[in-house]
Amino acid sequence: MAKLSNDSIIGRLNTRFEGRFDQIEASYGLLTIETGKEDILDVLEFLKTDGELQFGYLTDITAVHYPDLAKEFAVVYHLHSLVNNVRIRIKVFLDGAYPAIPTATVLWNGANWMERETYDFFGIQFIGHPDLRRILNVDDMEAFPMRKEYPLEDPNRMDKKDYFFGR
Amino acid sequence: MSDIKMAEAPPGIQGSGFFATSLDKAIGLARANSLWPLPFATSCCGIEFMATMAATYDAGRFGMERNSFSPRQADMLMVMGTIAKKMAPVLRQVYSQMAEPRWVIAVGACASSGGIFDTYSVLQGIDEIIPVDVYVPGCPPRPEAILDGVMRLQEIVKNEPLNRRQTPEYKALLEKYGFHTNG
Amino acid sequence: MSDSVSKIKLTSNKPIYIDNDPQDELFTLNLGPTHPATHGVFQNVLQVDGERIVSGVSTIGYIHRAFEKIAERRAYYQITTLTDRLNYCSSPINNMGWHMTVEKLLEIELPKRVQYMRVIIMELSRIADHIICNGILGVDTGTFAGFIPMMVKREFIYEIFEEICGARLTTNIGRIGGFERDFNEVAFAKIRQFVKEFPAVLKEFEALLDRNRIFIDRTSGVAAVDPETALSYSWSGPILRATGVDYDVRANEPYSSYEEFDFEVPVGTNGDVYDRFLVRNHEMWQSLRIIEQALAKIEKEPKGVFHADVPDFYLPPKEQVYNNMEALIYHFKIVMGEIDAPKKELYHSVEGANGELGFYLISDGGRSPYRLHFRRPSFINYQMYAPMSSGMLLSDAIINMSSLNVIAGELDA
C-alpha cells in the first residue's frame, strides 16, 4: 500500500477541521499539528475513525512544561496508523493556572494510565477521566515533580548541606 | 569418592568419644552454613540474583539452597535493587516480621546508597530505615560479588556471640531505627 | 454480597486491609508488592471468590526512580546508563534505541558494519529476554527442568556482552555514533558458538513444553485477548502479536538496516498465554536467523570500522585525549556540552523485547534534553492486567503475569 503522505493527511483533516488546527511542521517526517483543547477530542476521534486515515493506535500521551510560554503546558499525543504505517503527533497547549483537557479514555482504554502518569508528573487535569489519581509517586505528594521548577534531588536531604563542605 | 566438603569443626578439645567446644561456636557454625535468604528483589540486581541461584553459580553450595519468601522463616534479608520511598514501609515491615537472629545484606549500589538515582523518589540507601550487616557494591554486582557478600556474612554469623541480640547495644541500635523490643 | 464488601472502594490507592467477614463469600487478597510469584514489585489487591478473582486493582510505582527527571539534567551520552536500567533483561536494545534516537537528531549516518554489529547485539539481548520470560513461565507452570539449561545459555550471552563491553547486565554498550571498541576475535567466535549451540537447547526446551499436556492445559485459552481489545489498550510486542496483529517495529519502520534481513514476524491466533509462549519461542528462532545473516554480512564489510566518523559527537579514546590536542578539545566539548544539537523534537522507536520502546526527545540545543519521555511497553502493556484478571482463577492470573513479562524497572521508570 502506498504510504499516506503528510499532505494528504492535512488535506483530509482540512475537510472537517479547516482553520481549527495550525502550526504544521514535519521534522524527521513526522507530521505535527496543534489544536485547541475544545477541538482535541473531535480531532482524535476523526483521526481514529476516518476510513482513509485510520489512526487507530494510540502510541503515547505525555506532556511538556514550558515555564516561559504564556501557555505553559503542552499535552502531546502520538498516534499511529498501523494500516498506513504512518505516525502523527498532536499538541495541545494549556494554560498554566488550571491546565485541563478532556480525557481520551473515551476513545482508547489504554489512555487511562498514560493520562494518570501525565497527571502525576505535571498536574494536568483530564476532565472525565474515570480514575484520575497518582500512579507512580506516593499518594501524599503535593508537588508535580516533572514541572521544571521542582528540584531533581530530594529537598529534605541532610547530607548535602553546604556547611558540611565548608561553603 | 564423594566431593562433598564438610564445614570445618570449630576449635575445641577432642578426646576419645567426645568433642568439647563452646556453644557459641557450635551454633554459629550451624547458623552460618544454613542461612535461609529472603530475596527482596526489586530491580536489576534481582536478575543477577537469579543468575546466582541458577546452575552456573549455584548459591546452594553455601547453604542457602532454600529461598524463603516468608519473612518468619528467613535469616538473611537480601535487599536487591532500588528501594523507592513508596517501597520503604514495605521493606520495614518485612524486616520487622523476621525473627531474631536476622541479618541484612544490601546488594548493589541502589540498596547501599541510592546509586545513580539521587532523586526525590528514591531512598538513599536502606540503612536509613533498617540496620545493614554487609554491603555489596556494584551496579549490579556480579554473582561472584553477591556470593562474596554472603561469605562475609557467614564470617560475621560464625563469630557472633550468642547473647548479642540481648545486649543493650543491640536494643539501642534497633531503637534508633524505630523498632521497639519488649524487655 | 453483603454491605461490608460493597462499601470497599477499589479506587483507593492505599492498600486495603479489611477484616474479612467469615460469613461473606468474597474476601480481599493482597498480592504483592513483594510476592514471590509476581517476579517484581507489583501490587494487586484482589477480591476473590474462592479461587476466582472477582475484581482487582493494580498499584504500581514501587520502584519509581524518576528517569525522565534525571534525563533533563544529564548530557546525551550519560543517558545511556539510565536506559540500561529500564528493561534490565535486555539492556542493549534500550541503549541502542537511545543512541539511534540521538543519531537521528544529529543526522548521523552509521557505516553498515556498525549497523550489523548493533543488530547482532540487539537480537542476542532479545533472546536473553525471551529466555527469562519463557523459562520462568515454565517454572510457574510447574517445571524447573526447562529453565536451567536455558539459563546456562543466557549466561553465555552475558559472556559475549562481557567480552564486548566488560559488563553483564547493565551493559552501557555502544556510544552515540557506534561502539566504544571493535568486537574482538573471541567475541565473534563466541557469537558463532552461541548460534551453533543454542538451537539444540531451544529445541529441547520446545520439546519439553510445546506439546506437553500439562503445560497446554495450564496455558491454552488462559487470558485470551482479542486483537481489538489489545489494540485499544495500546499493546505492542510479542503479546500483541500473539493476538494476531503483525505489528513489529523492525518490519514496519526498519532501523539499523533491518530491512536488509530476511526474517518472519511470528503471530498467534488466540492471544492466550500459550500463544505468547509460542510467539516468543519463534522469535528466538528468527533472532538466530538474523544473527546468522548479520555475521555473514559483516564478513563483506571493511574490517575495523566500529563507529561513524563524527568527532563532534563521538567521544575519542582516552589515550588520544591524553596525547592529542585535537582529541582533548573534542573530549572537552562533548563532556562540557558545547556541541550544537539542533533545536528539534523527534520520536524514535525500536522493537524492544516487550514491545515498542519509544523515545520522545525535545532538544533545546543544550547539552541535555529539554524533555525526554520514554514510551515504555511494560507500563502500557501492564495496565490491562487488573481488568483482564476479573473472572480468572488466581493461578491463571499468576501465569498471565509471567507471560506479560512486565519488567518493574520499565514499568515504573
Sequence ranges of the domains in chain C: 3-59, 67-375
Tell the burial category of C318 from Cβ atoms under 10 Å away from its Cβ (0-12, 13-18, 19+): exposed
Name the residue among A82, A114, A136 with its Cβ closest to that of C60. A136
Cell numbers linked to C242? 500473539
CA distance B101 to chain C (A): 22
| Half-sphere exposure for A7 (CA within 13 Å, toward CB) | 0
Please state the pTM of the whole predicted model.
0.91
C293, C320 in Cβ contact below 8 A?
no
Per-residue pLDDT, C31: 86
d(C-alpha B52, C-alpha B80), whole Å: 12
Cell numbers linked to C121? 547485539
Residue A139: Cβ within 10 Å count: 12
Closest CA to C72 of C380, C372, C402, C396: C372
Measured over the CA atoms of residue C99, residue C104, residue C107 and residue C110, the dihedral's sign is positive
C86, C98 in Cβ contact below 8 A?
no
Per-residue pLDDT, C6: 35
A102, A43 in Cβ contact below 8 A?
no
B20 is in an annotated binding site: no
Angle between helices C112-140 and C273-300 (to 10 degrees): 150
Q: What is the CATH number of domain A6-146?
A: 3.30.460.80
A90, A143 in Cβ contact below 8 A?
no
Residue to test with chain B: of A133, A154, A158, most B Cβ within 10 A: A154
List the single residue in A with minimal CA-CA distance to B123: A154
C88, C386 in Cβ contact below 8 A?
no
Per-residue pLDDT, C5: 38
Cell numbers linked to B1? 569418592
Omega prior to B37 cis, within 30 of 0: no
C373, A60 in Cβ contact below 8 A?
yes
Q: What is the CATH number of domain C67-375?
A: 1.10.645.10
B89 is in an annotated binding site: no
Condensed to tens digits (0 to 9), the pLDDT of residues C274-303 reads 999 999 999 999 999 999 999 999 999 999
Closest CA to B160 of B20, B35, B61, B40: B35
Closest CA to C231 of A55, A101, A89, A90: A55
Classify each residue of C5-40 as buried b or exposed e, where b means 16 or more C-beta atoms within 10 Å of its C-beta: beebeeeeeeeeeeeeeeeeebbbeebbbbbebbbb
Scanning the structure block, which residue is given the C-alpha cell 485547541? A36
C54, C26 in Cβ contact below 8 A?
yes
Residue B50 pLDDT exceeds 70: yes
Contact A60 C344 (CB under 8 A): no
Contact A64 C413 (CB under 8 A): no
Contact B86 A138 (CB under 8 A): yes
- Non-local (6+) Cβ contacts of A107 within 8 A are A41, A44, A45, A48, A58
| Half-sphere exposure for C107 (CA within 13 Å, toward CB) | 9
List the single residue in C with minimal CA-CA distance to A74: C371
Per-residue pLDDT, C42: 86
Q: Which domains does chain B have, with CATH numbers?
A: 27-176 (3.40.50.12280)
d(C-alpha B158, C-alpha C288), whole Å: 49
Q: Of chain B residues 103-162, which have a CB less than 8 A from chain C?
A: 116-117, 119-122, 139-140, 142
C30, C16 in Cβ contact below 8 A?
yes
Mean pLDDT, range A76-96, rounded to an integer: 93
List the single residue in A with minimal CA-CA distance to C248: A82
Contact B119 A138 (CB under 8 A): no
Per-residue pLDDT, C372: 94
Per residue, what are the HEC states of chain C?
Answer: CCHHHHCCCCCCCCCCCCCCCCCCCEEEEEECCCCHHHCCCCEEEEEEECCEEEEEEEECCCCCCCHHHHHCCCCHHHHHHHHHCCCCCCHHHHHHHHHHHHHHHHCCCCCHHHHHHHHHHHHHHHHHHHHHHHHHHHHHCCCCCCHHHHHHHHHHHHHHHHHHHCCCCCCCCCECCECCCCCCHHHHHHHHHHHHHHHHHHHHHHHHHCCCHHHHHHHCCCCCCCHHHHHHCCCCCHHHHCCCCCCCHHHHCCCCCHHHCCCCCCCCCCCCHHHHHHHHHHHHHHHHHHHHHHHHHHHHCCCCCCECCCCCCCCCCHHHHHHCHHHHHHHHHHHHCCCCCCCCEEEEEEECCCCEEEEEEECCCCCCCCEEEEECHHHHHHCCHHHHHCCCEHHHHHHHHHHHCCCHHHHHC
In chain A, where the domains are located:
6-146
Q: Of chain A residues 25-84, which have a CB less than 8 A from chain C?
A: 27-28, 30, 32, 56-60, 62, 64-65, 76, 78, 82
Mean pLDDT, range A29-50, rounded to an integer: 92
Residue C110: Cβ within 10 Å count: 21
Contact C375 A59 (CB under 8 A): yes
d(C-alpha B88, C-alpha B81), whole Å: 12
Name the residue among B40, B67, B86 with its Cβ closest to that of C64. B86
Residue to test with chain A: of B120, B127, B128, most A Cβ within 10 A: B120
Give the pairing type, strands A57-65 and B76-80: unpaired
In eight-state DSSP terms, residue B69 is -
Closest CA to B148 of B76, B59, B87, B65: B59
Scanning the structure block, which residue is given the C-alpha cell 515504555? C376
Residue A133 pLDDT exceeds 50: yes
Cell numbers linked to C206? 520446545
* Percent of chain A clearing pLDDT 70 (strictly above): 98
Q: Of chain B residues 72-131, which have a CB less than 8 A from chain A?
A: 85-86, 118-121, 124
Tell the burial category of B159 from Cβ atoms under 10 Å away from its Cβ (0-12, 13-18, 19+): exposed
Question: Residue B183 — very low, low, confident or very high, per pLDDT cuts 50/70/90?
Answer: low
Per-residue pLDDT, B1: 56
Contact A56 C70 (CB under 8 A): no
A104, A41 in Cβ contact below 8 A?
yes
> Kindly report the CA angle at B54 between B52 and B56, in degrees rounded to 5?
80
Contact A154 B120 (CB under 8 A): yes
Going from the C-alpha of A110 to that of each of A35, A58, C178, C252, C268, the distances in angstroms are 22, 8, 35, 21, 22
CA distance A39 to chain C (A): 21
Give the pairing type, strands C345-351 and A31-35: unpaired
Going from the C-alpha of A32 to that of each of A6, A87, C345, the distances in angstroms are 10, 9, 10
Q: Which residues pair with C58 in a beta bridge?
A: C44
Per-residue pLDDT, B102: 92
Per residue, what are the HEC states of C15-77?
Answer: CCCCCCCCCCCEEEEEECCCCHHHCCCCEEEEEEECCEEEEEEEECCCCCCCHHHHHCCCCHH
Cell numbers linked to B93? 515491615
**Phi, psi of C358, deg, nearest 5:** -110, 150
Per-residue pLDDT, C11: 43
B74 is in an annotated binding site: no
Mean pLDDT, range A71-98, rounded to an integer: 92
Angle between helices B143-158 and B23-32 (to 10 degrees): 160
Give the pairing type, strands C356-362 and C371-375: antiparallel
Q: What is the pLDDT along chain C (413 residues), one digit of tens a residue?
A: 333 333 334 444 444 445 555 566 788 888 878 877 777 788 889 888 888 898 889 989 898 999 999 999 888 888 999 998 999 989 999 999 999 999 999 999 999 999 999 999 999 999 999 999 999 999 888 888 888 899 999 999 999 999 999 888 888 888 899 998 899 999 999 999 999 999 999 999 999 999 999 999 999 989 999 999 999 999 999 999 999 999 999 999 999 999 999 999 999 999 999 999 999 999 999 999 999 999 999 999 999 899 999 888 888 888 889 999 999 999 998 888 777 889 999 999 999 999 999 999 999 988 889 999 999 999 999 999 999 988 889 999 999 999 999 998 899 88
Contact A157 B124 (CB under 8 A): yes
Q: Which residues pair with A73 in a beta bridge?
A: A65, A94
- Non-local (6+) Cβ contacts of A77 within 8 A are A40, A44, A58, A60, A61, A89, A90, A91, A92, A104
Q: B92 touching C, CB under 8 A?
A: no
Q: B8 touching A, CB under 8 A?
A: no
- Non-local (6+) Cβ contacts of C248 within 8 A are C241, C265, C351
Mean pLDDT, range B119-137, rounded to an integer: 92
* Percent of chain A clearing pLDDT 90 (strictly above): 59
In eight-state DSSP terms, residue B84 is B
**Phi, psi of C127, deg, nearest 5:** -60, -45
**Phi, psi of A35, deg, nearest 5:** -140, 180
d(C-alpha A49, C-alpha C232), whole Å: 13
